[in-house]
Structure formats: C-alpha cells, structure tokens
Amino acid sequence: MENPLLGHEPLPPFARIRPEHVEPGVRELLERSRARIEQLAALERPTFATVIEPLEELQHRVSRTWSPVSHLNAVLNSDALRSGYNACLPLLSAYQTDLAQSEPLYRAYRTIAEQESAALGPVQKQLIDHALRDFRLAGVGLDAERKERFKNVMLELTQLQAKFEENVLDATNGWSYHICDESELRGLNSTLIEQARKRGHEQRVEGWILTLDQPTYVAVVTDAESETLRRAFYEAWATRASDQGPNAGRWDNSGVMADILRLRHEAARLLEFTSYAEYALSTRMAHSVHEVMEFLLEMARTARAAALKEFEDLESFAGRKLAAWDVGFYAERLQRSRYSVSQEEMRPYFPMPHVLTGLFEVATRLFGIRITERQDVPVWHPDVRFFEIQAADGQPIGSFYLDAYARSNKRSGAWMDECVGRKRLNSGSALPVAYLVCNFLPPSGDRPALLTHDDVLTLFHEFGHGLHHLLTRVDYPSIAGINGVSWDAVELPSQFLENYAWHPDVLRRISSHVETKVPLPPETQARLIATRSFHAGLQMMRQLEFALFDFRLHAEYDPAKGARVMEMLREVRSEVAVVPVPEWNRFPNSFGHIFAGGYAAGYYSYKWAEVLAADAFAAFEENGVFDSKTAHRFLDAILTRGGSRDALDAFIEFRGRRPDVRALLKQHGILAPGELAA
C-alpha cells in the first residue's frame, strides 16, 4: 500500500496518515532526493533550468511531505506520532545540512550567477543571492572537520529544540486544578465553568477541573476573584518545565536551554561570527547587534515613564501592592472602571462565525479576493475548517485550514504555518496552502465559540500571516510567501491587519450579539477603541523585556560562564521591568519562541515589525482605510513579493520613505521624550 505521505494529492490526506507512515515515508523521500541531488551536482554545464529549478522542486517536495507530520505533532500530539517525528529530525537535519554544505552545488550556483546574469530576472537573481548566502551560513567554506562538526551541532540543536517543546507540552498537560467549592469559580465565564464541570464528571470526581490550556490560564488570572486560584494558576504556568512549582524537576528544561545556547554559540563561532546574535542578523533587516540594542533601549527609554505611571495608578486603584498574579485581575477592573469595557463582557458580541465572516469581508474589500468554505476536505479534527481563496475573476489563489480551539495534546499559542508552498516550475505548479492555528475557548452546547476582543486581534494577526503566504505571486518556493523574508519583517502583514480589528466600521461588521444579533453599540465601540492605549506603556515594556533578554542572551553568551539564563533575566528586569515577579518565576523554561521556534536572537522582530506595521497603516489612514489604490500598493509591494525583494526596499516602495517610529508611538498614545501633548 502506498505511503500517504508520498502521494501527489494537492492536499495532505489527513484521514489516512498514521504514525507508522512517518519514518518510512521520510526515509524513502530523502533517499530519492539524495540520488537526484547527486545527478544535479555532477552536471558539467549547470544552468538555472537544469540545476536550480529541479532543486526548488526537490525542496518543495520535502517541505510538503514533512509539513503534515510537523503540524500533526503540534496539534494532535501522541506518543506514537512523537516517536516518529523525533526519529525523523536527525534525518532531515543531516539532509538539509548536506545539501547546504555541498561544494559542487555551491559552485554551480556561482557559475549560473556569473554566466547567466544577463538572462536572469530580478527574482531569479534574488533567489541565487539567498542561496549563496545560505551556503556560506551552513559552512560550505569550512574544512572537512569543522564542516562535520557544524553538521552535528545543527543535528543536536534540532533534537534539543524538539525536546524543549515536548517538555512544555507535557508540563502544560500534566497539571490541573480540582475545585470543590463553587465560590472559587466566581468571576469566570459560564462556558469555562461548564467545561470544567464536564471534565470533572468525565473523570468521576465531584466538582470542577480546570486545566492549564492557554484560554483557561488567561481567564483565571484576568477574571477569577479568588486570589488563591489566580496564584495557583500563575505559579503552574510560570514554572512550567522547570525546577520550581507544583511539578518541579519533572520536565525541567534548564539543561536543555543551556545546551541550546552553547551549541548555537559554537555554530556561530565555527562560521567566525562573534555571537549567535551576529550570525542571526546576517539574514535580517537590522544589520548589527548595536543597531538592535539601540532600537530596543530607545523604545524602553520612550515607554518607561508611561509604564511606571500606569503601574502606580494600578496599585493606587487596587489599594495595595500587587503580586504578579494580581496585575491582570486589577488591570481588567481598572479598565472596566475607566472605560466600562470588559474582555469577558465583550464575548457575546463576538461569536466566531460572525467574526470570521467580517474578517473575510475586510480581505475582500482590501484585496478583491473571495473566500469560500469547502467541507469535503480531509481534516485532522472535527473542529477544523477549510477555506479556498479566489481572485475577483474567479481564478484560484490558495487555501487554508483553520484550527481555532484549544484542546489537550495541542500546543498552546497561535501560529500560521506552511502546508504547501506556491510553485510554478517546468515540473509543475502548486497553489499555496496554509495552516491557521489558534487556541480559543471552544463552542459549548448549541452556542458558537465566543471570542474576547483580544481573541479577535489574534485571529486577525494570524490571518495576516496567512495572506502573506497565500497571496504571493513568486513562482519559486524558496522565496515565495513568507520564505526568504527577513525575519524582522515577517510580522509586518500580521500586525498590519490587527489595525482593522480596532476600526469602527470593521467592529460593526464583525460583531453581532449571540442572542439579540445587535452589533456592538457605537458608544461601546468608542470605549473599546479607547482601551487600545490602556497600559500601552506596560505592554511595551513587557515585550521589550522579553526582546532584550533574548537578544542579550545570544549576543553576550560566554562559554566560560555558561548559559546564565536566570542571571541574564534578572539583569534585564533590573533595567526595564516595571511589574515585579517572584523569585521562583521560570518564564524562560517555556519561552518556546526562542528555544523551540524561529525567534532566537529575533524576538525584537515583533517590536521592529510593529513599527513597520503602524507606519504602513498610517498610509491607509491618510487615504482612507479601504482605499483601493493604497491597498493595491501594499499588495504589490509587500504581500505578493515574498523574499524576492529586500524588505526595506519593499517598504520604501510602498511608503515612499524609510519607516518612522512616530506612527507606533502615536497609535499607543505614548509620547516621545520632549514631545508635548496636544
């Protein structure tokens, strides 16, 4: 029977994929790919058509075969799937490193760049430039011994990063809170309480069982009146996969983090970079460690006074000193007191089906696309939905899966990932397909899922990433969609689209009370919009704390001193933190963005791209937020280009100038030093 991972269907056959297919399928695919690479590397007269296009096809095939495996490991984790996934990580790491360290292929790309220069278009030249850069960053120029060591380091890192993520998932699933006294539930929404009651019934215990999934954690620390409950959840969440907290030492990531940092530094030094941060910046908009540090510190200087004042006001409102598990609770009440707006009270106005319809209308008005649902596509869970995107003339553009709700054995957080990349090669064509994943509270009974406005922002954010992947017009997979885009610019489309979830016209379209069907009243809209700058200083300082911690950890790593993870975090917090945290907080141990994801020495990208996004949206505000000319400029300069053009050049093409930080400060109501309020 044919392995479903090796078929040629346009979409993954999720109904037929089993854990036992994973390792045999990947081994067979890589064996075939290696044989083809040997043929390509041996060609005496390499050309773009005979070497580069076939390699693009090979990488497309590897990516689309591995994509459903990696995805299922994140959204439907099991012991059997995890075993197959982990068995393949060293195979894929070795394959990618061997490919990137191939001296014959490196020479072939250089030959093609020199001999076909006049015949190549700008996109093809950019593809070659990226490939040559990546060859160098993979150690193609190293001697045999150092090349082999680099390969082994990459392999170890792949395995360690997977282990980090597994520990966080196991720690999250490994804790729950049993409540017997109903009064402890005061403040929590009815959907959450009903789910906790059902869970208790299923486990044959009296009362309610709350789990540590992300929406439950956020709801508890924001809304639970019981300080005991808030503290228990905060401690369990903030000590996941660490040597502290209720499961201390059971899934401890401390050693994993130390090894990851050591190996990243070693990899950078093998390539003669001074640090991993310097190595990471070789593919980004920011050009130096100094530039990133100055950016972060300047933002911190700008926002600190506002953040200190906000926290002082919050403690004054609470009438006491606040612990970390109190901040969200009292902030929600202060916001409610000041604006008569509560995230929980917003839920009835944002039923998921209506929000989704409104979101799609925004995309249609901006970019002229049409989005329709298909229900005959195999999916991995009954909650998952599938949508197709067409151009105004009916031509298919791409499609995406939406997996919106939290459940056990699903990674926390929200993300967009590539299922299938776009390609248009002599060997054939493929339209892009994306995964959009969130962790919202699921529907309850006959009621649809009800979102907070924060959830709405998350949905818009991930859909922005999706549009970046799906609306690309680049034909070569390695630089189509989000591929090849500078990491500190990849958040631009996602953060740009969030702005629409704050606009009155859009709020009216995406809101419909679950019972009365009435949209959010204008006065409530106005109060909600006013909350956008609520605690903007505190939120910015929190993001800057994470970014500085990440960047300094990778820029200042010293093998003689070791990882210094908690020591570095204390140093950063002493300089920029406003909200105090307990000594036993082990936030880094679950910081998957930098230890398991792609944001190592790159968490600053969120704030960097937020500047780009605010400035881009300001262009729409100048001309009308649905102005078709501005929207098509954004589509042409940013969304369709993928990695085929330098990110700064693309931004300048759209905006007519370099980015300006003042748009972001204005958006958040934060004044630059020396600036007077109007």
Positive or negative CA dihedral for 277, 282, 284, 288? positive
DSSP for residue 148: H
Three-state SS for 454?
helix
* C-beta separation of 608 from 286 below 8 A: yes
What lies within 8 Å, CB to CB, of 425 at 6+ separation is 53, 56, 57, 475, 476
Report CA 536 to chain centroid distance, whole Å.
Answer: 21
Instruction: Single out the residue of 554, 549, 589, 567 nearest to residue 164, CA to CA.
Output: 589
**Distance between CA atoms of residues 298 and 291, nearest Å:** 11
**Distance between CA atoms of residues 678 and 675, nearest Å:** 9
What lies within 8 Å, CB to CB, of 110 at 6+ separation is 132
Query: Which is catalytic among the residues 332, 462, 491, 545?
Result: 462
Residues in the chain: 678
CA 63 → CA 67, 69, 411, 631, distances in Å? Answer: 6, 10, 21, 31
**Distance between CA atoms of residues 165 and 411, nearest Å:** 8
Count Cβ atoms within 10 A of the Cβ of residue 559 and give its class: 0-12 exposed, 13-18 middle, 19 or more buried: exposed
Q: Is 28 a catalytic residue?
A: no
**Distance between CA atoms of residues 518 and 613, nearest Å:** 31
Tell me how many helices (H) and strands (E) the chain has.
26, 9
The two most distant CA atoms of the chain are separated, in Å, by 78
Report CA 452 to chain centroid distance, whole Å.
Answer: 20
* C-beta separation of 41 from 108 below 8 A: yes
Q: Where are the beta strands (DSSP E) in 146-278?
A: 176-179, 208-211
The encoded tokens of residue 581 equal: 């945290």
| DSSP per residue, 354-398 | HHHHHHHHHHHHHH--EEEEESSS--SSTT-EEEEEE-TTS-EEE
- Strand 385-390: give its sheet, edge to edge: 370-374, 385-390, 396-405, 433-440, 415-420
Neighbouring C-beta atoms of residue 491, cutoff 10 Å: 23
Active site residues: 462
